[in-house]
Amino acid sequence: MKIFRFYTIRSRIAFFTLSAIFMLLFTRVIIETIHTNNELETEIAYQLDHALDLGTSSLESPLWDYNLENTQDILEVLLHDPNIVKVELRDEIDDVIQMLSKDHVVFENDSIISSSGTVVHDGLKRGTLTIWMSNEIYKLRLQQVIHYNFLYAILEVLLVSLVIWSVSARTTRPIESLISMADDIASGKLDTVIECRSNDEVGLLSKALDSMQSQIGQQMIELEKDKVEITALYDQSTAMNTKLEKMLLSLNQNYEETLSALARAIEVNDHYTKGHCDRVSEYALSIADQLGLCEYDKEILLKASILHDIGKIGVATHIINKEGKLDDDEYDQIKAHCLTGYNIIKDVDFLKESASVVLQHHERFDGNGYPNQLTGTDINLLARILSVADTFDAMTSSRAYRKKPLSDEQALAELHKHSGLQFDPLVVNAWMRCLDESA
């Protein structure tokens, strides 16, 4: 987790530099404090040793003579030292002879230090002098030194902070200027003047930014030219598309008119089947919608529905209109109309896929149909749809061999009866749903 976040180079430079300087100053204060403390301890030890040397040498003769008045005077002189708080004189058997002290001294305090020296006369021990000295004055001096060091350190930090802030501001000002210019360029102001006279990294960056601005400007000019060209091409393409759509619409109309003309040509020979192709087309497309077929498949089915009997052009009129039962030869000619129709349209580009539907529309689901005795799903789905639509219309309209047509209910019953044999059950059920919905 980041506790401190600095969002500018200036703040980071200032923070890290000041942190380093603060650590250095803090280390210096500690070192100076330790050094001063050592010096004061040495000075205290020296003064204590000096007082002992002075006292022991002064007490040699008076102690030898056992002149207590002189020893008293010597001890009082020693006690006049502001740092000495107590003196004590003992004889050679360590009995206290004299002891003087200052009234305000608390001897349990850790600020009191002591040292003892031997009084010698003619090479013999005559007594022991002990001096207690306070180091309070030295502690005060040490505290003053510490305070002064910290004060100087704070002043140095403040002074250095001002210098660092000024230097960092001077250093980062060109960068801030470049950032502002980059924002202008990003907002589309490509006429921004970039001025930087330095040869350092900032200068190199400004030159790179200036070069980038020039390149972007050139690219924008080229893009604008491309935009104009693309717009012109788009307008031309739109106009061409409109023209092509009209041409395709006209072409489709011509196709439909051609197919209708062919269908009428078929019906000329069979006056009983007038309108048959139109009705079969309508029924077949309804079944296709019920089965959810795509537009492409429905277009193929429509063409096949219109032209499914085109092969009858090759069948004699008297056979087509014969009211009695056909003999075997006549029936073979009728059955040949599927293959004949296929051969007529198979080489027409926009009818190639419809040709196979025309060829198979008299195949039976059980394999007993013609011309190739296909079974089940081997038969094109569109041909299976066309078979149901063609048969339903044949049963519900007048024919040469049947003057009275069946009702829709009777025709549906026949379809249901032969479902799975002559017809695909899926298609039969779909056609039944179509009739239920239209009822």
Domain positions in the chain: 9-160, 190-262, 269-438
> Considering only CA atoms, which of 288, 278, 286, 280 is closest in space to residue 256?
278
How far is it, in rounded angstroms, from Cα 269 to Cα 195? 95
pLDDT of residue 343: 94
**What gap in Å lies between CA 146 and CA 327, rounded to an integer?**
136
Phi, psi of 72 (to 5 degrees): -60, -45
| 83-127 pLDDT, tens digit each | 888 999 998 888 899 999 887 655 555 678 888 988 888 888 889
The yes-or-no verdict on residue 148 having pLDDT over 70 is: yes
Query: Mean per-residue pLDDT for 313-331?
Result: 81
Homologous superfamily (CATH) of 269-438 is Hypothetical protein af1432 (1.10.3210.10)
Structure tokens of 420?
């799975």
Rounded to an integer, the average pLDDT of 267-291 is 81
Q: Which residues pair with 112 in a beta bridge?
A: 134
pLDDT tens-digit profile of 54-92? 888 888 888 888 888 888 888 888 888 888 889 999 988
Do 9-160 and 269-438 share a fold?
A: no
Fold classification of 9-160 is Beta-Lactamase (3.30.450)
CA-CA distance, 52 to 90, in Å (whole number)? 14
Angle, CA 412 vertex, CA 411 and CA 415 arms, to 5°: 90
